[in-house]
Structure 1
Amino acid sequence: MDVVGGKWKALILWALHKGTLRFGELKRELPGVSEKMLIQQLRELEADGVVHREVYREVPPRVEYSLTELGQALNTALDSLGVWGETFMQEIIANKAKEAAA
């Protein structure tokens, strides 16, 4: 659970499921994430061997992120969780609203 724990890691993995993304593209895929938090989460995912970071020595420098084989397997495992979330999202939102009103 450490590998996907936290607010942003599963969302980062889901965004990278589409393919290789540059840092700016990844940030746009995750509205609300700060640059600092995104960098931190990407570094942790890279250290776990789930995300690959490719640095191109250009001016300006270009950095791309992609899933490793391990990351792709993890995304496959998380797919059922995503389906569950989509299926029950409205119910969960309604439950939270009831709780907040009480």
Structure 2
Amino acid sequence: MAGYEPDFCPRYHHSIELIGKRWTGVILRELLRGANRFSQLSHAIPDITDKLLAERLKELEAEGLVERRIYPETPVRIEYVLTEQGRDLEGVVREVSRWAEFWLPPVATGSKADE
């Protein structure tokens, strides 16, 4: 593979572990599509539990990929938006989607399943 470096790269390993974590890629994809409310994300990803969605959003926020914005309205409005760092993953998400459409068979989804 052109450009492949055989030495272990901690940054690469961390990035693969981060975006490869269950549901993280799907959350990123939905945020790139414009979903920004918890309910929008939950509706767009029917197999994820609310608990797991909240956990993943906190992880992405801690990594600097997602920003949680609170609007002091009644009721309080909370939105999740990608940071510049998160938006920079758009090409990666697009390429994984392209690869999956080409190489993987369709998968049936079930109901709200935890890990």
Tell me which interval the TM-score lies in, with the shorter structure as reference length. Answer: 0.7 to 0.9
Which structure is higher in helix share? Answer: 1
Q: 1:51-79: per-residue Cα shift (whole Å, max 9, x none)?
A: 11101112211111111111111122232
Contact 1:20 1:67 in 2 (8 A): no
Residue of structure 1 in register with 2:25 after alignment: 10
Aligned with residue 60 of structure 1, among 49, 52, 75 = 75
What does 1:1-102 align with in structure 2 at a 5 Å threshold?
1-90=16-105
* Partner SS for 2:42: helix
Is the 8 Å Cα contact of residues 35 and 41 (structure 2) preserved in structure 1? no
SS at match of 1:65: strand
In the TM superposition, structure 1's runs of 4+ consecutive aligned residues that sit over 2 Å from their partners are: none
Q: How big is the shift at 1:21?
A: 1.4
SS in 2 for 1:58: coil
How many residue pairs are counted as aligned between the two chains?
92
Q: Please, which runs of 5 or more residues in structure 2 have no aligned partner?
A: 1-15, 108-115
> What is the DSSP-based 3-state SS (H/G/I as helix, E as strand, rest coil) of the residue aligned with 1:16?
helix
Partner of residue 12, structure 2: none
Identity %: 36
Q: What letter is aligned with 1:29?
A: A
Unaligned runs of 5+ residues in structure 1 are 94-102
Structure 2: how far apart are the matches of 1:2 and 1:57?
35
TM-score normalised according to structure 2 size: 0.73
